[in-house]
Chain A
């Protein structure tokens, strides 16, 4: 049976859902992206007291001038004795070796974690977990789970980040046309997409809330609470397989194409 893991949005929420959760996934302040609510190392230390598995997101692209900041954060996190760091940038693999860190890593190059062979490549480099891309079919996930050596995370609920940029796309637009509002959604052909322009850059999310109610071949299924009403989120966690909200399976049964002709 898969463990329930939650990308949390607040300390209060973490405490409120304590009894429904096996693991917290925690975006680290200044070194994570795509999650508007981030947490300081001191808050992560506080969350340790809840006696759950803890995984910290350091999933932003690390620019060269951020290496010292990253080192400092890794050394602090190492002392917390958490279960893993969810990474995007390969600098983390190198620094794990250089700093002799014991904390496990979770390979999460977001949309590029798409096959078992690469999961095993990283496993052999000491990366014990893989957090899969959301753009995979159920059949592909099953095969990866069967053939991957490490443990697998799969998104099953929440808005899915589908675009991440260093650029300040909303603020650039507002500045260009001297507009005073702050945009948080874009619209195209009947669909709205949340857009967040924060210090680290701009993120855009799926128009729908992924809501998979069936069993998935994964060690951890991930519920992303960002942009979700807090009460609704608690409702989902009570019994996710029978929740009252619309089922949305994303790419589970929809293989993407890449050659049009």
Chain B
């Protein structure tokens, strides 16, 4: 039994560092030509800094280059891939096979994106012969599918374990192109699947208690991790390159614990149900195992309109700690004040207490922290470090 890689998304350098600090073995990030065109993304310099940081920790960085290329993108891709090779990226994640020969000549390791919706052992076999090192399986695969694919191939398999789902087969939705002129397969997806529609039977409107939508619940395989490990899945992937640092820290830390706890004592391992609460607290939709257990009936849908929950309990991130005065320098992320009961957690430790003292940057005492990214100091009884997260448990 081999410990699978825990693979986290990272939308920027801060989140890359947090993902690795909180227990990810590898991160996947986007530079150019990736499916999150409307996020800041990594410049080559950022990528280099992130890769160097990860390699010092003996961890890996994969770069997504997974758009459906049009002619003009294809003509620019070689130079970009050469740059990625130069900065020692561990692998690129592609969906367009025209990149295979170019990447092989440059000497890059290639993973095949879930955009290709690889669902069966024959497709996997083809890609392995083409020189692909790893397949990111389609999210529609069941446990039996994964088992059979693994047993019939020697290639590495990566499986999504947590996060949002496409309502369509990945790559087979261009609702965004048609309804908003934004190209979903080139990173412009405007998430039409989360919109409400009216459903008609010919000319008669069908009225349910809530509007029709394609929207699905999120994926969580937290209580199926031992099964995935025993299927010899090579990499367990978390979705969400646009998610917050707090989300990344919480999800990665929780899955790290689950994997490690199972390996400590597989025979007596029991899923800690507390983890479900922790994962649910940072989610903005309900989570279920989705296709893994073969279920794609009505219970996978999410008819809750756009009223998704937000994570306003994440109030700040620790920048540094003065051990002598027990003061943590904190960057604010949500409103908080004196008297709030908070939890400060890092990769290994957690402490809970009531906020009694807050100071501004000039060390004046203040009562309320209301400005986004405001720097303040709060009294924290036990030692914390940079990138520890602060969440509000109970508002005063």
Contacts and interface: CB of A to CB of B under 8 A. Distances in A.
Interface of A: 61-67, 89-91, 93-95, 98, 109-112, 114-118, 120-122, 133, 135-136, 140, 143-144, 147, 160, 162-177, 179, 181-188, 192, 195, 204, 206-207, 251, 254, 256-261
B122 A67 contact: yes
B183 A176 contact: no
14 contacts: A61-B119, A64-B120, A94-B125, A111-B68, A114-B185, A135-B177, A162-B177, A167-B216, A172-B300, A172-B301, A173-B298, A176-B298, A256-B177, A258-B37
Contacts, number: 232
Interface in B255-311: 291, 296-298, 300-301, 303
B137 to A, nearest CB: 10
B181 A115 contact: no
Interface string B307-333: 000000000000000000000000000
Nearest to A143: B71
A64 B123 CA distance: 9
B199 A186 contact: yes
A165 B179 CA distance: 18
B199 A170 contact: yes
Nearest to A119: B98
B167 A183 contact: no
B138 interface: yes
B197 A188 contact: yes
Q: Is the interface of A mostly helix, strand, loop or mixed?
A: mixed
Given A183-B200, A260-B38, A172 B297 contact: yes
A207 to B, nearest CB: 7
Nearest to B166: A165
A174 B69 CA distance: 38
B192 to A, nearest CB: 8
A133 B95 CA distance: 15
A111 to B, nearest CB: 5
Interface stretch (B46-54, B84-92, B205-213): B205-213
B201 A169 contact: no
A116 B74 CA distance: 9
Given A63-B120, A67-B120, A90-B118, A188 B195 contact: yes
A259 B188 contact: yes
Contacts of B208: 173-174, 176-177, 179
Interface in B99-157: 100-101, 115-123, 125-127, 138, 140-142, 144-145, 148-149
Contacts of B68: 111-112, 114, 133
Most A C-beta atoms less than 10 A away, residue of B71, B100, B167:
B71
A110 B95 CA distance: 14
A135 B181 CA distance: 10
B100 A192 contact: no
B119 A186 contact: no
Interface stretch (B168-176, B356-364, B382-390): B168-176
B212 A186 contact: yes
Interface in B233-268: none
Interface residues of B, number: 78
Given A91-B126, A112-B96, A188-B195, A206 B178 contact: yes
A8 to B, nearest CB: 22
Nearest to B117: A61
A186 B200 CA distance: 6
Given A90-B116, A187-B200, A257-B182, A110 B172 contact: yes
A8 B181 CA distance: 29
Contact of A111 (B71, B140, B185, B202): B185
A257 B182 CA distance: 5
B4 interface: no
B348 interface: no
A256 B187 CA distance: 11
B186 interface: yes
Given A162-B177, A173-B208, A188-B197, A63 B96 contact: no
Contacts of A185: 199-202
B32 to A, nearest CB: 11
A77 to B, nearest CB: 16
B97 interface: yes
Most B C-beta atoms less than 10 A away, residue of A117, A121, A182:
A117
B214 interface: yes
Nearest to B138: A61
B204 interface: yes
B294 to A, nearest CB: 10
Contacts of B300: 167, 172
A256 B182 contact: yes
Contacts of A112: 68, 95-96, 115, 171, 185
Interface in B42-65: none
A183 B201 contact: yes
A229 B216 CA distance: 34
B175 to A, nearest CB: 5
A147 B291 CA distance: 40
B96 A166 contact: no
B123 A259 contact: no
Nearest to A254: B181
Most A C-beta atoms less than 10 A away, residue of B175, B178, B185:
B178
B227 interface: no
A113 to B, nearest CB: 8
Nearest to A136: B70
Contacts of A182: 201
A169 B149 contact: no
Given A135-B177, A162-B173, A176-B208, 12 more contacts: A61-B169, A63-B119, A67-B120, A89-B120, A91-B126, A112-B95, A115-B74, A133-B68, A173-B212, A177-B209, A183-B212, A261-B38
